[in-house]
């Protein structure tokens, strides 16, 4: 399989390894994000060979390479994702590729869910697009699509993303600005979302759609006093989504919610005491909402909804609130296939490099500057879920552009994706189409020029 490489995120995938991160996302320029630093994992290899890897410019000038996926057919015993070795790095690593050496291979259970996540490959978010909300200055609700990102999505963009080597696309969607008083979704909005889904689906990509920025008092909110209202909203929305997309096969993935949390509180992004009353309430409410959504999707009973993979988040989608016992996977007895629940996490780690402003603009594989936090949170996700056969997708990760530091962003992407692959975690880069500007800039492809 020969493909142009974007010269950025996919640089690590060609080595046959993945990686992850710990932290929180940016959500369309929303408020501050706080994360807890993770301890450095001992025993991780630090040997690297870093080749020239120009991060910018037209994708046609990026490196092409024959890709032999690490996702080889598993053996009867639990298998490990192989690492790239054999010939010396100086002869085996083409120019423009960053080689990341990972720790000793880990056991990955032999089941369909693990193979499914491996097949998802490298992913990309159509961020700040259909997830734009509360744009009160607009007279036409259909203009929400370009309100935050500045451009409407084209089929050419989707094709370019796929040609660049991305096999998964996440399409975040906010619905509450496009519903009536009974939560019926506006047909024009649903049709437009479906059109873009079709462009990616017809490319053979995996497509993730969700409920994104609807985390408000009147719609979806994880507190006991809002539970009845929240369940009514999310079940009504998912009834309509599951009906519209019932006949799409397993390449279409449903993600229950984005980052459910108690918005507007002093614990919106971080709860210090996981055993406090507010923590227990928040965690329980999110478990209830995930369960209600899974039940709604399975109850549809049409097409592929019985066997479809469903992603479920914990509090603010942070790994820290998902590796704990209070996070409970939904019961899924109505599914027509086993193990169809995927743990959904977001991890902008290390926070000081990936998301903090100003933070630091430096990340260095050779000196392990910033790598320890990535090692730690991915290892914990592996031990809690993957080692037990439960699939995990990092639906959002990325690193801010800071003063033209694309070279270090390339290193970050390579290391993150390599380590995630090692632990059998899929990764989806957050791209909000902003670059070389103030605020949160995660762009890796210009949607207007397709560079």
Nearest 10 degrees: CA dihedral of 63, 166, 413, 263? 160
- Return the SS3 of 312: strand
Give the model confidence (pLDDT) of 359-397 as tens digits.
999 999 999 999 999 999 999 999 999 999 999 999 999
259 is catalytic: yes
The CATH number of residue 307's host domain is 3.20.20.80
In this prediction, residue 209 carries a pLDDT of 98
CB-CB contact of 188 with 145 (8 Å): no
Higher pLDDT, 144 or 403: 144
In this prediction, residue 80 carries a pLDDT of 42
Residue 440 lies in a domain: no
In this prediction, residue 3 carries a pLDDT of 39
42 is catalytic: no
Q: Is the dihedral of CA 99, 103, 104, 110 positive or negative?
A: negative
The reported pTM is 0.83
Residue 271 lies in a domain: yes
CB-CB contact of 238 with 293 (8 Å): yes
In this prediction, residue 438 carries a pLDDT of 81
Residue 47 lies in a domain: no
Give me the catalytic one of 162, 176, 212, 422.
212
DSSP classification of residue 369: B
Distance from C-alpha of 383 to C-alpha of 341, rounded to nearest angstrom: 17
85 is catalytic: no
pLDDT-based confidence at residue 92 (cuts at 50, 70, 90): low
Give the model confidence (pLDDT) of 265-280 as tens digits.
999 999 999 999 999 9
Give the model confidence (pLDDT) of 245-301 as tens digits.
999 999 999 999 999 999 999 999 999 999 999 999 999 999 999 999 999 999 999
Give the model confidence (pLDDT) of 301-358 as tens digits.
999 999 999 999 999 999 999 999 999 999 999 999 999 999 999 999 999 999 999 9
Our count of domains for the chain comes to 1
> Cα–Cα distances in Å, from 308 out to 114, 164, 234, 396, 450?
15, 27, 18, 21, 32
Q: Is residue 68 pLDDT above 80, yes or no?
A: no
Range of the domain at 353: 17-41+104-429
In this prediction, residue 180 carries a pLDDT of 98
Residue 145 lies in a domain: yes
What percent of the chain is modeled with pLDDT above 70? 79
Residue 73 lies in a domain: no
Give the model confidence (pLDDT) of 125-183 as tens digits.
999 999 999 999 999 999 999 999 999 999 999 999 999 999 999 999 999 999 999 99
Residue 7 lies in a domain: no
Give me the catalytic one of 99, 145, 255, 259.
259
Residue 33 lies in a domain: yes
Residue 418 lies in a domain: yes
């Amino acid at each position: 399989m020969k493909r142009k490489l974007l010269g950025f995120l996919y640089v690590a995938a060609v080595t046959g390894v993945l990686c992850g991160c710990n932290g929180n996302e940016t959500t369309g320029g929303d408020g501050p994000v706080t994360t807890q630093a993770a301890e450095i994992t001992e025993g991780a290899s630090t040997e690297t060979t870093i080749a020239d890897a120009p991060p910018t410019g037209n994708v046609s000038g990026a490196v092409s390479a024959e890709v032999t996926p690490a996702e080889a057919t598993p053996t009867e015993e639990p298998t490990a994702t192989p690492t790239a070795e054999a010939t010396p790095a100086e002869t085996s690593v083409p120019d423009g590729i960053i080689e990341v050496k990972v720790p000793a291979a880990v056991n990955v259970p032999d089941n369909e869910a693990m193979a499914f996540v491996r097949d998802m490959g490298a992913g990309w978010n159509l961020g700040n697009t259909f997830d734009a909300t509360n744009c009160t200055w607009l007279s036409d609700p259909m203009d929400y699509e370009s309100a935050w990102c500045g451009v409407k999505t084209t089929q050419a963009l989707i094709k370019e993303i796929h040609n660049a080597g991305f096999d998964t696309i996440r399409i975040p969607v906010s619905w509450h600005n496009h519903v009536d008083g009974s939560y019926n979704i506006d047909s024009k909005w649903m049709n437009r979302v479906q059109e873009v889904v079709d462009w990616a689906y017809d490319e053979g990509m995996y497509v993730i759609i969700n409920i994104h920025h609807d985390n408000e008092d009147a719609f979806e909110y994880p507190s006991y006093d809002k539970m009845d209202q929240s369940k009514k909203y999310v079940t009504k929305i998912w009834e309509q989504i599951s009906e519209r997309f019932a006949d799409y096969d397993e390449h279409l993935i449903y993600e229950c919610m984005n980052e459910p949390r108690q918005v507007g509180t002093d614990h919106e992004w971080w709860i210090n005491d996981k055993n406090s009353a507010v923590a227990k309430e928040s965690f329980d409410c999110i478990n209830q909402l995930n369960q209600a959504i899974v039940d709604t999707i399975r109850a549809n009973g049409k097409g592929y909804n019985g066997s479809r993979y469903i992603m479920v988040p914990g509090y603010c989608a942070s790994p820290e609130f998902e590796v704990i016992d209070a996070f409970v996977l939904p019961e899924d007895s109505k599914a027509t296939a086993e193990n169809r629940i995927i743990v959904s996490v977001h991890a902008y780690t290390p926070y000081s490099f990936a998301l903090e402003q100003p933070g630091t603009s430096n990340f260095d594989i050779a000196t392990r500057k910033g790598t320890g936090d990535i090692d730690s949170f991915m290892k914990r996700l592996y031990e809690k879920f993957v080692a037990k056969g439960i699939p995990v997708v990092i639906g959002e990760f990325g690193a801010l552009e800071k003063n033209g530091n694309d070279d270090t962003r390339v290193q970050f992407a390579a290391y993150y994706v390599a380590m995630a692959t090692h632990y059998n975690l899929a990764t989806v880069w957050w791209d909000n189409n902003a670059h070389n500007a103030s605020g949160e800039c995660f762009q890796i492809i210009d949607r207007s020029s397709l560079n």
